[in-house]
Amino acid sequence: MINVVIFDNFKIVCDGIESLISGVSDVKIVAKVTGGIRELLKTLSETLCHIVLLDVYSPDGEALENMRTIRRQFPKVNILVLSMSDLESFVLKTIKTGAKGFLSKDTTRSELLEAIYTLRNGFDYYGKSITNILLRGYLNQTTKDEEEPELSAREIEVLRLVGDGMTNQEIADKLFVSIRTVESHKSNVMRKINLRTTVDLIKFAIRNNYMDV
C-alpha cells in the first residue's frame, strides 16, 4: 500500500485530488492537510506516509522552505509537487530543494498515478511538459558552452525536437530520415554525455549548473 498525504490550503482541492485517486486498490490517501506547514509536520510525525503531494500555487520562497523543512525532518518521505507554475527556474529550484517529482496542473489522472508509483519505486518523475521545458533549457545552455561534449548539428536538432515532445516517428518525418536514424542520433548524444535517460540528462544539467536557477 502506498500512503499519500495531500497538502493544500483548500479542502475542495484536497477532495478533488482524492477523488482522482479513489478506487485504486494499492494507493491510499491517509490524510488531507489544509492548516499549514505545522499541521503537515504533525501529521507526518503521527502517520506512516510514503509520498506528500504538495499543491503549489506560486513559486515563492515559502513553498521552497516548506519542502526544505519536510526533507530535513522526514528524509524518507517523497515530495511530489503539483503546481500551476511551470517556470523553468521554479522547477529547477524545487528539484534542488529535494522534490522527487513535479507535475503541472494540466496533468492527467493516469500521469498522477504513474508519478506516485514511480516515486514509491525509488525513482524521480517529471511530467512530460516539465521534462520538455527542462530539456530545451539544457540544450539552449549547452550549445553555448565550449566545454560540453561536441554534438553534431543534427544531434542537437533531434534533441530539440525531442524537447518539443515529438515522437521518433514525427521527428523522422520532419527530418526526412528513418526512425532508426533518429534513434541512432539520440543514442549517440546520451553516449557522449554518458547518460541513459532524459531524467538523467536533467539531473546532470542541474548538478553541474548548466541551467540557471
Find the distance separating the first CA and the last CA of the chain, reported in whole Å.
Answer: 36
CA angle at 15 for the pair 96 and 74, rounded to the nearest 5°: 35
The architecture CATH gives domain 131-207 = Orthogonal Bundle (1.10)
Q: Where in the chain is the domain with CATH 1.10.10.10?
A: 131-207
What is residue 187's predicted lDDT score, i.e. its pLDDT? 78
> Of 72-81, 104-113, 146-155, 184-193, where does the model show the most confidence?
72-81
Q: Which of 84-93, 107-116, 192-201 has the lowest mean pLDDT?
A: 192-201
In terms of pLDDT, which residue wins out, 106 or 141? Answer: 106
Provide the whole-model pTM.
Answer: 0.67
Calculate mean pLDDT across residues 76-102. Answer: 85
- Selected from 3.40.50.720, 1.10.287.3510, 3.40.50.2300, 3.20.20.120, the CATH number assigned to the domain covering 2-126 reads 3.40.50.2300
| CB distance 78 to 51 below 8 Å | yes
What is residue 146's predicted lDDT score, i.e. its pLDDT? 45
Residue 117 has pLDDT above 70, yes or no: yes
Residue 136 has pLDDT above 50, yes or no: yes
CB contact set of 147 (below 8 Å; sequence gap of 6+): none
Q: Which three cell numbers stand for residue 162?
A: 525531442
What is residue 84's predicted lDDT score, i.e. its pLDDT? 81
What is residue 213's predicted lDDT score, i.e. its pLDDT? 45
In terms of pLDDT, which residue wins out, 152 or 51? Answer: 51
153-210 confidence digits (pLDDT tens): 787 777 767 655 577 788 889 999 988 888 888 778 777 766 666 666 556 555 555 4
What is residue 184's predicted lDDT score, i.e. its pLDDT? 85
Q: Where in the chain is the domain with CATH 3.40.50.2300?
A: 2-126
What is residue 163's predicted lDDT score, i.e. its pLDDT? 58
